[in-house]
Structures are given as structure tokens and as C-alpha cells.
Amino acid sequence: MEQVLKQTAETAQKLESIYPDYDAWLTAASWELEDAAWLLVGLDPAMAGINNCALSEAAQEQLRQYEMAFGKHFMIFDQYRVLIGDSIALKAEREWIFGADGGLEPIRFLQWCFDHHIGWHERLQRYLDESGCTFRYSDDSDMLRAIKRMAKQDCWLLHDAVLLTLGFHPDMNMNTLIRRPNLQPGCDRFDRDALTRASYLADTARGSWRAGKLEIGNDDEVREDLSLFVLRDSCEPQAEVFPKPFLLWAQDKGYAPPPQLLEELGLEPRSVNDNASGQSGYSTPYLQLMQKAIDVHRITDQNQPLKKELEAWFIEQTINGEAISANDASYMASFVRSPKSRKGGGRKY
């Protein structure tokens, strides 16, 4: 026993940090399953045999900061180990991500994790970003099929919109989310599980809706029962949102929806810095309303709604609590359409 403790102490003193050397690990031929779980949660696999008391003072401080953000490190590791083990179920998947030596091939394994919504620690994401290594959903992944299916819908349930925005499959239920540790790449805040993070996004959306900054499809129903704007499983009644405006709103709030989701809806990825540099800080209620019309009606060069349909929509809106006149509605309906769509003689607006 004394020899074991002595070896543990010696190992701890050799560790300059509790964090892994990703340069070494990402170029390795393969990983063991337990090593992979440690690396995903952002910790050096050598931590498996470390007695916390034997860590250097600097490493102990790192560990305190880590556990303040995510919880007990052994608990997080164990959750990930079980999650990975349970998820690698199909023989074809095992053959694809395991190499000839029986270990996990690093890049293939990370691609598999990405396809299966198994996130990793921000330190690993930062390393991948700096290395120019990016992942996209595989053509045969369930997630990409779900994205293509959902992109065809005119309205999304709040549950589906929130999960898609955060990079989760819309079929995941609340029980699954609460068991999923929150180490998602690019996460906006360190909530302990995916359900807490998803609920926070739903609450933010509710606040924007009440402030008149986010439109929903079943406004009247929700005003009669505000509990419909609480995150719940997709089989239950709830708020419904318009896909494109919701994703634009989410990006303005600092979220980064999956690029392939944005592509399916004809949207460009935007960052907080993009928004700040692209805006002068000045706008008017009329400009804001016209932009809202473009988002709601999905107006593009190829999709030009009839002017009379747009006029009817504008007349139903208000600006600072005041009704919009027929003349103003006509002007705005013209201005949100392409000039080439304006046909006929006489004065063109």
C-alpha cells in the first residue's frame, strides 16, 4: 500500500497541470475507452490514479476551479464513460471507430461523438479550432436527417427549436437531457446538465417574446396559458416558433446553431462580433418591422410574396402601440420586395 501511495505521489508531482496535452493525444494511434472519457471531459487521463492531496498547489487550484464549474471530476468522468459505453451499441459503429488494435481512432471517435451529440470540454474545442479541425454531421447521421426534415417545417415546437439550436437531436426527451453533462463546445454558460442549459434558452426566448422581440406561431394560446412557454417534451402542448426568425434571434443572443442547420434554412452563421460590427446602433421602428417581415415571410430573391399579402400582414402589426395606416402598409410591403417584382405602370414605390 505504501508503495502504491508513493507511486501516486510521484505521478502527481510529474503532472504540471490537470489538463491533457492534446498535441500528444490527438496524434496517438488510438485511445482506450477510459482515456477517451477523461480527454472529453478535459482532464489528463493520468488523473485516474491521482490522490488529490498529492497534487501540487497549482494543480489543486486548477482542480478546484474545474469542479466549481462542472462538479466532482470523478463523477463527470464516470458519466461520460457510461454515456460512451452505452452509445457504442451497434456492431457497425464499433467496427468504424475502433482501430485494428482494438483502440479508438481519435479523429473517427470525435466525429462519432459529434454525430451522437456527445460534447467535449471547451479546452479540446479550443485546440481543435486552433488546429483547423472542424466537424460536420455525417451524411448518414440521424442528426443530419433530422435537420433536413425540420427545415421543411414552417413552425417548430419550442422544444425542437431549443434542442436544434444547441446541437441536440429534437427527439431527445427531458430525461435524456438531464442525464447529459453539459460540456458542449461553445456553450454560453456552465450549467451542470444539458436540460438546465436548454431551459435557460427557453426562458430567454419567453422574455424576448414578452418584450415583443420574438414572434411565435400560437400567440393567442400562449397568452391564455403562459405555461406553454415552459420547456417540455415535444409530445406536450407548447409554444411554437418560426424557424428562421428564431435562429436569427438565437444568434443575436450569442448562440451558435449548427452550421448545417443554418445552411438548410438559407442562413449565414453570425457571431456577436459580426452583429456589433454590422450595426451602426441606429434603427427605426419601421426598419425593424420591415426586417421582421423579411424574416417571418422568408423573403429572398427567389421567394417574393404577393404585395397584398404583405400589406395585410403589416396592417395587423402595431408600432409603439399605434395602428399602421393602409398607406404605410403599402409602402413597407413594396420596400421589402425586390424592385424586379414590382410590375405594372404608374408610380412605383
**Residue 51 in this model has a pLDDT that exceeds 80:** no
Q: Determine contact, residues 333/307, Cβ cutoff 8 Å.
A: yes
**Residue 185 in this model has a pLDDT that exceeds 80:** no
Q: Mean pLDDT of all residues in the chain?
A: 81
Residue 191 confidence (pLDDT): 55
- Minimal CA–CA distance to 246: which of 299, 287, 283, 296? 296
Q: How far is Cα of residue 97 from the mean position of the Cα atoms in its chain?
A: 25
Q: Determine contact, residues 327/349, Cβ cutoff 8 Å.
A: no
* Mean pLDDT, residues 44-72 taken together: 78
Vertex 168, ends 104 and 164: CA angle to 5°? 145
Residue 260 confidence (pLDDT): 96
Residue 295 confidence (pLDDT): 79
Integer Cα distance of 182 and 190 in angstroms: 7
Residue 284 burial (10 A CB sphere; 0-12, 13-18, 19+)? exposed
Dihedrals phi, psi of 31, to nearest 5 degrees = -120, 150
Tens-place pLDDT, residues 247-306:
999 998 888 899 999 999 999 887 544 444 444 456 788 888 888 888 778 788 788 889
* Mean pLDDT, residues 196-214 taken together: 89
Integer Cα distance of 141 and 139 in angstroms: 6
**Residue 169 in this model has a pLDDT that exceeds 50:** yes
Residue that wins the pLDDT comparison between 302 and 39: 39
> Measured between alpha carbons, how far apart are the two ends of the chain, in Å?
87
**Residue 189 in this model has a pLDDT that exceeds 90:** no
Residue that wins the pLDDT comparison between 84 and 43: 43
